[in-house]
Chain A
Amino acid sequence: MAARAIWKGSIELGKHQVAVKMYSAVEDRTIHFRMLHRKDDAPVEQHIVRKDTGKDVAKEDLRKAFALSKGTAVILEPADLEKLIPPQSRDIHLCRFVAPSVVGDQWYDRPYYLGPDGDDESYFALVHALERKKVIGIARWVMRKKQYVGALSELNGYLALATLRRAEQVLSFSGIEPAKTAKPHANELKLGEQLVSSIAADFDPQLWQNDYRQRLIKLIEAKARGEKPARHVPKKVKPQASLADSLRASIAAAKEKKVA
């Protein structure tokens, strides 16, 4: 089933524009539950109430406040919030292009695919250009009254636009210098590399399933049929030895596994 576009925009590059449709690149597989009243299984309603009186507050009386230091906060009136809304635009502005490795994984937030919106030739021309240059674009755009920062890239022969976290959110380290006693010896490093290469593989996400989600779905289905679901029995193992011994034993075990 084809997915529905969530937004339409236009990539601005040089003198050209490429009209695109935006699609979520992720599928929500989360199992969402409803909150019920235990006694009668009726769905619950959420009311916003005053904490001191417990009385309901009408929707038009609701406000948001931004907390400052020293125990104070400032209420934002609807007119204030209006002022903060960025001007509406369909433009996806490209700030610069960089090598993909310049943007670490920790920046990536939500991924989207972009599809052509009427002009396939320009769209695939841009895909082609990004493939040739092997770079990603840092983009800014306004979508549904909010500003976004993102990375435009070529992915599987199409354009992808992932939102990025803001600079204020991403933490990084420098000056990491292990204490003398914690510095691994050269022979340990060599053993470590041997061990890593003994279980080296290609990335294959299909190998991993969310077993918990599968069990939860089965449980719900069983209960819907009126059956009593089988209990899941966990397993447990635990090795422990000195670092070098563990490395050696692990390499030996990995080799044996490969032969078998």
Chain B
Amino acid sequence: MPKPKSRRAKQPRGAKPAVVPGGGPSVRSFWSGTITFGLVSIPVDLFSAVRPRQTAMKLVDKSGHALGRQYHCSKEGTKLDGDDLVRGYETDGKMVEITDDDFASVAPEMSSDIELRNFVPLEQIPSLYFQKPYFLAPAGKSAKAYHLLAATMESTGRVGIGSFVMRGHEYLVAIVSDNGVMRADTLRYADEVRTPESIGLPKRSKEAAKMADQFVKDIEALTRAELDISELQDNEAQALQELVKEKQKNKANVIEESGLEEADPESGDGAKIIDLMAVLRKSLSKGAVVTNARGGAPVDLAERRAQKKATSTRKAPKKKAARSPATKRARSG
């Protein structure tokens, strides 16, 4: 969805050359800032630690023409540009218009700090709080402080809790050290997490004791020390890719790819982890190896495509850049 007018999030201090000459928002969807705890500060760059699934599809018509989304006024039926749009919120049957200035007036302070307020035992954070992981790489001359914080958290078994502002949103975050690499894992807020009581699950009643014993035996029989990656792989994506390759071999429905738009606007996340390996190798350790859990190197064709696309979008006019996931997220509270 294109954003109405330009409600560009101000870039935090010290951010990478994020603003394109045209004044549009960044297409490099990572964040630069500083971890602070006590009086120590560690400049870091942030990269997505997960790749999108390889199932994203493009929107076309029967004969393969590139399609796009166009907004029309429901009253006048006229075509609308980004500048014609404004956000509204319906409350008590009344539509309230929320302008760019309104959003700006409540925006979080443009801080580029992740201030760690306390260090908590990792196992105390229930898994249902974890939302999205990002890798942190030391920026500038912060390698030593970075390694110090990572080593300290690993030796104490604690993780830093803090909050930070990214793309005009405030995130609660756990700074976790994993094998010498720090991650910023965003967390859900307490009011976003339901409890068994709020769901209305029945009170714990008597269990079938014999069955519990049987379950214990069944669980023991299936308990292993490690994960089996084949149990976690994306069978759907593989089936899709096989089908597509088969069709390509038979020259069925093969079309030109240029200018196609994502069928699911939310899935356009592909540009996120460009040169991740190079960046982390350079800033963390020359011997660093990046793999995905399946063992493959993370840079594959799909990402090279994303990279190519990102390079071309960087020069794109304002309106196109406005479709980046960054601004989409900035839309909501």
B:140-158 near A, CB below 8 Å:
143-149, 151-153, 155-156, 158
> What are the residues of chain A within 8 A of B237 when measuring CB–CB?
166, 168
| A27 and B87 in contact, given A106-B133, A193-B155 (Cβ under 8 angstroms) | no
Q: How many residue pairs bridge A and B at CB < 8 Å?
A: 595
For the complex, is A108 an interface residue (Cβ under 8 Å from B)?
A: yes
**Contact in complex: B39, A250 (CB < 8 Å):** yes
Instruction: Choose one: A33, A34, A178, A253; the contact of B38 (CB below 8 Å).
Output: A253
Do B50 and A165 touch across chains, with their CB atoms under 8 A apart? yes
Complex CA gap A38/B234 in Å reads 43
Q: Closest A residue to B308 by CB, please name it.
A: A71
Given A24-B194, A51-B65, A74-B252 in contact, is the A44-B38 Cβ separation under 8 Å?
A: no
Neighbouring A residues of B225 by C-beta, 8 Å: 98-99, 102
B239 at the binding interface (Cβ < 8 Å): yes
- Which among A38, A69, A98, A115 has the greatest number of chain B C-beta atoms within 10 A? A38
Given that A72-B255, A174-B291, A200-B120 are contacting pairs, would A169 and B51 also be in contact in the complex, using a CB cutoff of 8 Å?
yes
* Given the contacts A71-B258, A106-B49, A33 and B88 also touching, CB distance less than 8 Å: yes
Smallest beta-carbon distance B316→chain A, Å: 14
**Please, how many angstroms separate the alpha-carbon atoms of A103 and B252 in the complex?**
41
Smallest beta-carbon distance A255→chain B, Å: 11
User: Is the CB–CB distance between A77 and B253 below 8 Å?
Assistant: yes
Contact digits for A175-189, partner B, Cβ 8 Å, 1 yes 0 no: 111110111100011
Query: Do A209 and B189 contact each other (CB < 8 Å), given the known contacts A57-B67, A98-B227?
Result: yes
Instruction: Say whether A240 contacts B41, CB under 8 Å.
Output: yes
B217 within 8 Å of A (CB atoms)? yes
A204 to B260, CA, bound (A): 46
Cβ of A144 within 8 Å of any chain B Cβ, yes or no, is no
On chain A, the number of residues with a Cβ less than 8 Å from chain B's Cβ atoms is 172
Fill in one digit per residue for B150-187: 1 if any A CB lies within 8 Å of its CB, else 0.
01110110100101000001101010101111010101
**Which applies to chain B's interface (DSSP): helix, strand, loop or mixed?**
mixed
Minimum CB–CB distance for B293 against chain A, Å: 4
Asked if A96 and B224 sit within 8 Å, CB to CB, the answer is: yes
A189 near B50 with CB under 8 A, answer no
> Which 9 pairs from chain A and chain B are nearest by CB?
A250-B38, A2-B200, A234-B109, A31-B333, A129-B215, A14-B218, A111-B128, A176-B180, A182-B143
Roughly how many angstroms separate A64 CA and B237 CA in the complex, as a whole number?
Answer: 15
Q: How far is the CB of A220 from chain B (nearest CB, A)?
A: 5
CB of B127 closer than 8 Å to a CB of A = yes
Complex alpha-carbon distance, A17 and B38, angstroms? 52
Q: Across the interface, which residues of A come within 8 angstroms of B188, CB to CB? A: 26
Which B residues touch A146, using CB under 8 A?
236
Chain B nearest CB, measured from A257 CB (Å): 11
Q: A156: which B residues are within 8 A, CB to CB?
A: 195-196
A176/B218 in contact, CB under 8 A: no
Beyond A175-B285, A249-B39, 18 extra complex contacts between A and B, CB < 8 Å = A26-B128, A36-B85, A47-B72, A49-B68, A63-B60, A64-B58, A65-B253, A72-B248, A76-B243, A83-B243, A128-B215, A168-B54, A172-B293, A216-B103, A232-B105, A239-B39, A246-B41, A247-B38
Q: Which of A139-185 contact B (CB under 8 A)?
A: 140, 146-147, 149, 151, 153, 155-158, 160, 162, 164-179, 181-184
Quick check: is A3 within 8 A (CB to CB) of the other chain?
yes
User: Which residues of chain A are near B60, meaning CB under 8 Å?
Assistant: 62-65, 73, 75
Within 8 Å CB of B291, what residues of A?
171-174
Tell whether A192 pairs with B151 under 8 Å between CB atoms, given A51-B67, A203-B120. Answer: yes
Of B119, B260, B276, which one neighbours A73 at CB under 8 angstroms?
B260
CB distance from A215 to the nearest CB of B (A): 4
**Chain B residues, Cβ within 8 Å of A37:** 73-76, 80, 84-86
Contacting pair A94 B222 (CB below 8 A): yes
Tell me whether A200 and B119 are in contact (CB under 8 A): yes
Whether the Cβ atoms of A170 and B38 lie closer than 8 Å is: no
Report A204-245 CB contacts with B as 1/0, cut-off 8 Å: 011011111101111111011000010110111001110100
Give the chain A neighbours of B114 by CB distance below 8 A.
none
Partner of A157, one of B84, B176, B204: B204
Residues of A within 8 A of B92 (CB): 224
B120-139 contacts to A (CB < 8 Å) = 120-121, 123-130, 133, 135
Residue of A37, A218, A234 contacting most chain B CB atoms (<10 Å): A37
Please list 7 pairs of residues, one from A and one from B, whose beta carbons are closer than 8 Å in the complex, sorted by A's number: A66-B57, A74-B255, A105-B183, A167-B232, A171-B51, A183-B147, A249-B38
Q: Which residue of B lies closest to A70 (CB)?
A: B257
- Closest B residue to A235 using CB positions: B109
The residues of A that contact B276 with a CB separation of less than 8 Å are: 171
Q: Give every chain A residue within 8 A of B296 (Cβ-Cβ).
A: 168
Cβ contacts under 8 Å, B49 to chain A? 106, 170-171
Please name the residue on chain B nearest to A168 by beta carbon: B234
With A74-B244, A172-B293 in contact, do A122 and B211 touch (Cβ < 8 Å)? yes
